[in-house]
Structure 1
Amino acid sequence: MGGDSGSPIDLNRMSLIALINQNINLLGAGWLDRRLKKDEQERRMARASNHRKHRVRQQAKHPLVLWYREYQQALAKTDEDHALSGSQSTLLLAAFFSNLSKAKDCAGMAHILKRLIKPDEFLAAAFEVEVAVFYLNLGWQVQFVEANQERSPDLEIMQPDGSRFWAECKRKDEMTARDLENEAFFNNVKDRLYKVWGPTKQNLGLTIQFAKDPQKSELDDICELALEMGRQLTTAEPENRLPIGASMLAGKHRVRLHYLAEPDVVQAYTPIDYGGDSSEFMAEQRVTLYTGLLMKNPKVFDFRCDIPADKYQSAINSFNSAVGQIPPSGPGVIWIRVPFPDGYGAQLKDLESLASRIQRELTGEYNRRINAVVLSARWFASDPHDGMQAIRYSHDFRVVEHNQPRSPMTA
């Protein structure tokens, strides 16, 4: 059982401005302005460091600040009568404020708002709001349950007939220690290379294939190899800028580099996804009235390991953690935002495989307080719209039901 739990996001310029302005003060009068000013101070410090050749890559600490800054840039580049650029940040911002506007009158919202302004709690709290809106859209009532010293679920839902059940929401923050270490290694490689390739506008697509989990001691050698390969590609004659590859540590790691574009050459926005375990596409974007979404200076960082990531175990860890949050009598539903890579095909395949594994945890006398587990995944895809490429934000889910729940639900 599954389906798309999303709804169309209105990116009409005036509609989105009204939506954000009507709901932004729910987070506290002046809160975002203060965060933006603090972020700007940190940006100035980063620019000063870059001027001194330190190559500091500044990133907003609060996700909402990052999304809002990119939304402001899209506003500045968009004609008043047209839709905003469908960048990932704009879509995430629009989806968040759409959900917040629908859930703002729920009981218990006050403590959620307090969590939303904390950088380390924002994504988890935003996911709880997203799940609440799913039930609100069904016409049911939702209360956010404030955490206390005892373990408690995130939501209490009341159906039209008066029956109630609990819901617990878990995000990708339940990744295994191994996946966290690998992700940290990938981010270190990406940040080191970007500090060179970003300012010098070396537009390259990097793929690193690891035969085994990388070690911290290998970071310097991997980065130096990639930088040297980048110098070879960017200084070669145009006709010789073919993909190049190299291996290190007796073939333990394999590095491949593609030349993507000349510096500052504008082209149609076309996201690149090499399909690795961890992949990030970067490009400067702008939208025009006649040509749609454009980009320049693209870069791709793609990492993959021959030993599969523990993404299944990560979801199982989330499930095991969530079970104890539901009262023993139930009924309860667990929502898990699954940390899978982008790409519709990969999402569907992984969701089906994980659903089969979760089903074994919901059989017979096991975990009978849990009536169902909802596995939720989201992705961004580039789709044609009105003759132009646009980014679509969607999410799919799989529902796995217990065959003998302790307290059956009425709907």
Structure 2
Amino acid sequence: MAVDAVIVGLGYVGLPLAQEATRAGRKVLGFDIDEEVVASLNAGVSHVDDLSDDDIAEMLAGGFEATTDESRIAEASTAVICVPTPLSKEGGPDLRAVEAAVAGIARHLTAGMLVVLESTTYPGTTDEVVRPALEAGGLVAGRDFHLAFSPERIDPGNEKFGAKNTPKVVGGHTPACSDAAAEFYGAFVDTVVRAKGTREAETAKLLENTYRHINIALVNEMARFCHELDIDLWDVINAARSKPFGFQAFYPGPGVGGHCIPIDPNYLSHNVRARLGYPFRFVELAQEINSQMPAYVLSRAQDLLNEDAKALRGSTVLLLGVTYKPNIADQRESPAAPLARQLAAKGAVVQFHDPHVERWQSVPDAVKVDDAASAVAEADLTILVQNHREYDVDALAGAARLFFDTRGVSTEGERVSRL
């Protein structure tokens, strides 16, 4: 059976994409350089939050298989790149994984193949980095093979929107390339939205996340001065969101996390500085504000303990929820990590509870507690960092000596404070 698509990179983006294509009856091959990931998938074991072992079993029954054999890329009529693009030391995207994936595809590129980049990056990457590498073997994009960019829009833990019902933006190197990409995704995605070209599609993803980044920074800064002015910002937002037009609610928190919000806007800011020589001031200010939130939470925690006649040094501080989003195990860029490190640096004894985390990778010295109810009763201060559905927040707050809610979900009381 011919392979309809090879998905290069089987993480939280590539695997749901492979699932939907397989469900639509496409023969899908998954390629990854991680031998453990490939072996576990072929054994029916999932390694991402949004897919269960049963989902993987369904995919395998539908013909999906995973491989580390690069040569098999040549079997596919479409190759989709879904590898990570972390932030580099210079502030732009680290493209090493993309470059490696493209090099692998280039070695097995065949005439008529469609190649799509989904990895988030700066505008121009598809045309300036991917295309030259693919054309080095003699085939020409837009003539001998199709090339497009389609930004990933996977939202881990989102129970309403997934790969199938989230509109898919595509931008091709040529109109014919856009047609080929739209036809490919249209077979298993409900709505395909065509951008003018690859640069427009690349920039659309950055605009989406920059919009969120800036608006989160706005309410985070408001949280600080509203506290000083004794204004309940959560009530302010609730009142403002009653307006049926012209307002979208964003909420403050202990910082931003995940791969998108704290990372993607910096790609755009870096690109503007590198190409045009001036700053993207909104992004840089938002980054400054959001990155300071863990330190602000630390300051508020210290104040709460002082009011209770306790020093932060030597106090036991329990963090509830250390993932970057509720109800998932993903710890990437979670603001809980810098908060924990700053608490420890001030001499606090840091404990954590999270029903989704067995080992806190970025803060290995933090003490894991298994019973949240008993732990909050013993800790000098409990901080709700992430509101997982497993938490009965008011019950936990009621049992705590001091409770600091950074998510605005508790009922305020004598021993309970909100961000």
Which category of TM-score, normalised to the shorter sequence, fits these structures?
Answer: under 0.3
TM-score normalised by structure 1 residue count: 0.25
- Provide TM-score, normalisation by structure 2: 0.25
Higher relative contact order (CA 8 A, sep 6+): 1
